[in-house]
Amino acid sequence: MKVKRHVIGCLLCTLLVFSTFCQAMAREWIAPVDSTAKTTLAQKQQDSLTVVNAIQLSRDIHRSQHNEETEYQEAEKAVSLSLELGDTLLYAQSLDNLGLMYRYHQRYEEAIPLHTKAFNLLADEDSASLSKMIYANNAGVASRYAEDFDKAVFYYLEALKIAESENNLRNIAIACNGLGNTLLHLPGRGEDAIAYFERSLEAERKRNNTLGIAMNYLSIGDYFTEIGEYQMARNYLSKLLDINKARKDTFGLGITYEYYGQNYFHEGRDLQKAANYFSQSKALFEKLGDLHKQADIAKKQADVYRKRGNLNEAIQQYNASWKLAEQVKNKGLIKECSYWLSTIYEQQGQFKKALEYLTLSQQYKDSVALMDQQTRIAAIEKRYAIEKKESQIELLEKDKALQKSQLESQQAALKSHQVILVLLVILLVSIVVIAFMQFRNIKAKKKANELLRKQNDQIKEQRDEIKTVNQQLESTFEELIQEQKNTEEKRIKLLESTFENRIQSLAIQSLESQMNPHFLFNGMNAVRWLVMKNKNEEAKEYIDTFARLLRMSLTNNRKKSITLNEELQSTSLYLKIERLRFDSEFNYRINISPKVYPERVKVPPKILQPLVENAIKHGLLPSRKSPKILDINVTETEEGVLVEVLDNGTGYSISQENPSEPKPDGTHLGLKLIEERLVIFNQQHLGKVQFRIVPRTGPTGTIKGTRAEIYIIHETTLDLA
């Protein structure tokens, strides 16, 4: 036996050592792979951040420095790095950003393929809806400015389709505005363009985007100017002017005045107005330091002078525009100024100067064409470099994928070996444990059988004894249960009888406290006094009210509970009677919060009238204050409904009296009945109604009246379902 145990122990130790060795070897193989993966991930995150920073830097340089060469360098750096990373989203973003740089410098032909490629890269990415809308709209803008209108319409519609599916108002507005501006260039599509402008306007109004609204007004106004509807155009420009004034947008005002000038210039009826608007526009752009717009406006001022026949002033303005155009390197504008200067000098007979400027115009025209040609060649070369790099990256990606596949297969094989090894170890350990447990079970089974036989004999004897005792206990228990049941039934019937009698007694006492002979006597005297004073209408009103109060009191006192609305109606009748009886010596108000539904709240009948009676009799009538006011406020709290009876009388302190001893005049009888009836009411209902009377005190602690509160917990509300 000892030998067997020793063998089993040795086997277990060997298996454990072997298992530990295998696990150590697996960790050594896998650790370098994990370390390399972590290093690669960290580097990739750093490179992604570099791409994003390069994109942002290119845009910042454009906004602040306008250094075209540096802008392109940063944008191209982002494209190259994102391509090496193999990150499709970053690559698409970098391409779109480079396209924007080209578009900002009027290189639209080069911008189009970049925007379209960015869009196509994400065409099948459902999670990139926002990026696809932006890239499609950018492709549409570049195509429109390059006068490739078919392509512009296609990409604007792609952006609009995605924006509509996402209910993205911003991009709906952008796409519709772009479609409108594109269709304006196509014959017979003016009405369609206006429809798109109107839809863009609607989206911008929903967004409350005044800048977008202004852009659409500008586009619509320009369209009507182009088709000769000058007054209609000015109507939209007037709305545009109001918006830009409200926004205090200096650039927007400059554009607005420029388009006003164009409107009057094309109309040709009032060229002085055109000149004035151009002057206002130029002054604003001078304030902003925008040389591009200053040069453009100076040329338009020269056109006005030329059209009016003021040739010398026109020459001055063309020269001024020329100088500004040289500063901003706008060769196209220099070409136009040279051409018109040549035309004016020819009209004046200065043919030598006319020839010089005509030659300059042709030179700049050739220079612009050559520059465009060089730009297109550079773009083609860059596009070729990007495509070549894409091919190289694609080959590298295939190598990486192959290496990754081999590494994954090695890891999978290693894991499968580990799993097999672990299973073998578990199987061997299980066999050893089962054999050991089986041996122990055989010995334990013999001992257990012997103990079980002895216990069965003892249990048989005890079972017979227990059976006899159980029979005796069952007989005794049944007798006790029957006796207890009879006693409980008698006690319940007695309590029910006593409880019902007490309820009826309290109801009768409450009715007597409210409608005692003294009250009836006072009521009759009040009627008699009113008749003697020939106040027949008041007497009739008093009798009608008194009769309604009696009828409601008799009806309500037959009920165990009534709604708070019924109780407030009864109390209102009582207050009306008392006010008539005392010749309007006091005023009363019943204020119910809109959040409270008194017809849903249950209360005992006649719990408010004793409080009102005490407030009038002991608070208001003895008081010398004026006016005397009694308020009943019904408000909702977090836990229930609060009913307050407030008076500004002499003040009544219940703590100075013994409420358990009613006065001969019934002062506290009603209060005592309220307390007793609330105890019974709370026992009969799930909720709770609380009651108290306290003095009303001012900021200095002086008594300024009495407050009686009845607090009704939510569980007592009616279930209207």
* Bond preceding residue 598 cis, omega within 30 of 0: no
Q: What is the pLDDT of residue 304?
A: 92
Question: Is 1 inside a domain boundary?
Answer: no
Q: What is the pLDDT of residue 395?
A: 43
Q: What is the pLDDT of residue 502?
A: 60
Query: Which pLDDT band holds residue 29 (cuts at 50, 70, 90)?
Result: very low
Query: Which pLDDT band holds residue 4 (cuts at 50, 70, 90)?
Result: very low
Say if residue 343's pLDDT is above 60. yes
Residue percentage of the chain with pLDDT more than 90: 30
Q: What is the pLDDT of residues 605-621, one digit of tens each?
A: 888 988 998 899 888 98
Domain boundary among 371, 395, 419: 395
Cβ contacts of residue 586 below 8 Å, gap of 6+? Answer: 579, 616, 620, 621, 627, 628, 629, 630
State the residue range of the domain holding 391. Answer: 306-395
Say if residue 256's pLDDT is above 50. yes
Question: Is 343 inside a domain boundary?
Answer: yes
Question: Is 630 inside a domain boundary?
Answer: yes
Q: What is the pLDDT of residue 526?
A: 79
Question: Is 25 inside a domain boundary?
Answer: no
Nearest residue to 177 via CA among 205, 210, 204, 206: 204
Q: What is the pLDDT of residues 301-321, one digit of tens each?
A: 999 999 988 988 989 999 999
Say if residue 635's pLDDT is above 80. yes
Question: Is 479 inside a domain boundary?
Answer: no
Domain boundary among 395, 419, 441: 395
Cβ contacts of residue 555 below 8 Å, gap of 6+? Answer: none
Say if residue 565's pLDDT is above 70. yes
d(C-alpha 442, C-alpha 380), whole Å: 90
What integer is the mean pLDDT of 569-583?
90
Say if residue 355's pLDDT is above 70. yes
What integer is the mean pLDDT of 659-675?
60
- Mean pLDDT for the chain overall: 80
d(C-alpha 268, C-alpha 265), whole Å: 5
Q: How many domains, the chain?
A: 2
d(C-alpha 7, C-alpha 271), whole Å: 116
Say if residue 575's pLDDT is above 70. yes
- CATH number where 671 lies: 3.30.565.10
Most confident region among 1-15, 382-396, 535-549, 644-658 by mean pLDDT: 535-549
What integer is the mean pLDDT of 692-705?
86
Question: Is 190 inside a domain boundary?
Answer: no
Nearest residue to 8 via CA among 499, 379, 429: 429
Give the tokens for residue 306. 């030329």
Higher pLDDT, 340 or 457: 340
Question: Is 623 inside a domain boundary?
Answer: yes
Q: What is the pLDDT of residues 164-185, one digit of tens each?
A: 998 999 999 999 999 999 998 8
Question: pTM for the complete prediction?
Answer: 0.46
d(C-alpha 553, C-alpha 47), whole Å: 88
Q: Is the dihedral of CA 252, 256, 258, 262 positive or negative?
A: positive
**Cα–chain center distance at 46:** 34
Say if residue 54's pLDDT is above 50. yes
Q: What is the pLDDT of residues 143-168, one digit of tens each?
A: 998 889 999 999 999 999 999 998 99
Question: Is 234 inside a domain boundary?
Answer: no
Answer for the pair 414, 26: CB distance below 8 angstroms, yes or no: yes
d(C-alpha 420, C-alpha 418), whole Å: 5
What integer is the mean pLDDT of 549-577?
88
Domain boundary among 331, 362, 395: 395
Give the tokens for residue 95. 């391409």
599 DSSP assignment:
G
Query: Which pLDDT band holds residue 676 (cuts at 50, 70, 90)?
Result: confident
Cβ contacts of residue 293 below 8 Å, gap of 6+? Answer: 254, 258, 281, 285
